[in-house]
Amino acid sequence: MKKTIEDYVDKIMKLPVKSKYDKSELLGHDFLVEKEGDIEIYYAPHNDYINPHAKIFIVGITPGFQQMSTAIAEARKELEKGTDFEEIKYLCKKAGRFSGSLRKNIISMLDELKLNEKFGIESCSELFEEKDNILHTVSLIPYSVFVKKQNYSGHTPKLLKSGFLMNYVRNNFVEELRNLDNAKDILIIPLGRAVEDVLLELSSEGIISEEQILIGFPHPSGANVNRAVQFSENKEKMISKINKYRIHKDK
């Protein structure tokens, strides 16, 4: 069963109100969802919100600690003000989705692929601001995953080979897709090969179509030293797929 902010109100309210937390404050029993060996999964409100009208999904593996900290800090602030739960979920998503250099790199690459022109906007930066009604940022695993207290990268263990982690993908990400009327109309942008591999597996199972997946989009992290090369090698194929993508109007 999916965990939501309603399950963690008392635990979040025990935290002091501040803009960010450190690992000693969050990676304890209060927010631990489940663990297996060195793998620990912790609740974060980053993925409580779902945008049912999205035409673009940007898909990561799992919220990293920075996203977890930012989202919980936002939730703590808004709970203090008495904000409605559904509004808090949206505000946590808005605050926690890609920030800093990650967002800058995503926008730069998407603009170079002319996704902005496809959607009739000046820049893909608008997807994170006034045009966020057509964007949904989501993680294959909705909660924060750590291996030996470090952000999980999708490779050790390999996500597709981990039944423990793939259960979260199938019980959360796949279920979200199945509950969306327009799931087969969404353009899906995987952040890196680990996400791409899982999406291709889901396409082989008929859950999504391979034609929806923007294959070849590199992980936007500055730590990905091959990002520019990967992007250059796959650029023309990605532009071609975007050009073929048909924007479906809301029913």
Q: In three state form, how does the secondary structure of 25-69 look?
A: HHCCHHHEEEEECCEEEECCHHHCCCCCCCCEEEEECCCCHHHHH
Please compute the mean of the pLDDT values over residues 110-118 and round it to a whole number.
Answer: 97
Would you give the DSSP letter of residue 135? E
Rounded distance between C-alpha atoms, residue 54 and residue 37, angstroms = 36
Please compute the mean of the pLDDT values over residues 86-112 and round it to a whole number.
Answer: 91
Kindly report the average pLDDT of the chain as a whole number. 93
Q: Find the farthest-apart pair of alpha carbons in the chain and give their distance in angstroms, rounded.
A: 51
Domain ranges of the chain: 53-62+97-143+153-244
Please compute the mean of the pLDDT values over residues 68-82 and round it to a whole number.
Answer: 96
Q: Quote the percentage of the chain above a pLDDT of 90.
A: 83
**pLDDT on residue 54:** 92
pTM over 0.75: yes
**pLDDT on residue 250:** 62
